[in-house]
Structure 1
């Protein structure tokens, strides 16, 4: 191991896993459109890194490695015979997934999703539920029915949540 390289202990590897796993699953899902398969692939990458006792130069190198490893594993899966037999993936789409521009836009989308999810977690529980259902295209009436609250309460939760989210996420706006 060279000077400055990081070797993982079980404790700091677990911390790394917990911080990267959700966003890597979202990243893999963009390729595979299958959440369970995405989770499996991300877990396989983490397991391989642990088993091979890999070391990294710094945190940015570590994060970049995991994104690239997950992307490659997803692309390998998409190219595999079992996938071709079951899904018939268009090669044009596969080529699009390989472009640098696509990777950058996907990384930005994933990071933005993580930031928004963290902001929603800071909302009061009912307001967070209302916002999540709203994101899933539930109408105010459907949300009210789902949560056993009045439509006016749904509107109040939305109004309050949007105000708090604007404050929490104001830095995301382009000026």
Structure 2
């Protein structure tokens, strides 16, 4: 830490990359509809930030910065002559993509999903399985069948899981 700004070591930057990379690829894909280009763009943004030695006030500031940088890279690509020449270019789409609402809603959904998945992965294995099936709209009966456990056990796992998830995710609630 220097002057209130966070300067990354290679190790901490690698950790940030590993935690943000999957979400940012999904985010870029929402714009580009091409996974390979999405991955390339996200990697390029990470390389540029590292090379330019950009510092951040904190991790949230860094996360926001990466989302905006990836968004800008995607929009610039969609506006480029190369893209217009090769793809069916839709101006209406581009206007929708440039809207702040699109950016915010996609970024929030992706980040929230990542946080929830991380929280679920901290649950005991059976409880995590029950919650994942529950999220996929399985009924308690179907979950019991799928995991070969009783309905009461399903309900117990849910109780434990929800209590733990509430603790894990308490920072998301507005105080």
Fold agreement, TM-score > 0.5: yes
Match of 1:150 in 2: 149
- Kept in 2, the 8 Å contact 1:5–1:56? The answer is no
Residue 66 (structure 1) aligns with = 66
**TM-score normalised to structure 1 length:** 0.69
- Per-residue deviation, residues 52-101 of structure 1 (Å, max 9, x unmatched): x212142456444422221123334545247734xx6x533331221223
Q: How does 1:1-175 map to 2 (within 5 A)?
A: 9-32=9-32, 38-50=38-50, 53-59=51-57, 62-79=62-79, 80-81=83-84, 84-85=87-88, 90-146=90-146, 148-152=147-151, 153-174=153-174
Number of positions where the alignment pairs a residue of Structure 1 with one of Structure 2: 167
Q: Which deviates the most, 41-50 or 155-164?
A: 41-50
108-117 or 75-84, which moves further after superposition?
Answer: 75-84
Task: Give structure 1 stretches of 5+ with no counterpart.
Answer: none
Normalising by structure 2, report the TM-score.
0.69
Q: State the Cα deviation string for residues 92-123 of structure 1 (Å, max 9, x = none).
A: 33312212233333333333223322321221
SS at match of 2:169: helix
- Structure 2 runs not aligned, ≥5 long: none
| Cα separation, partners in 2 of 1:5 and 1:112, compared to 1, 3 Å | closer
> In structure 2, how many angstroms separate the alpha carbons of the residues matched to 1:134 and 1:76?
40
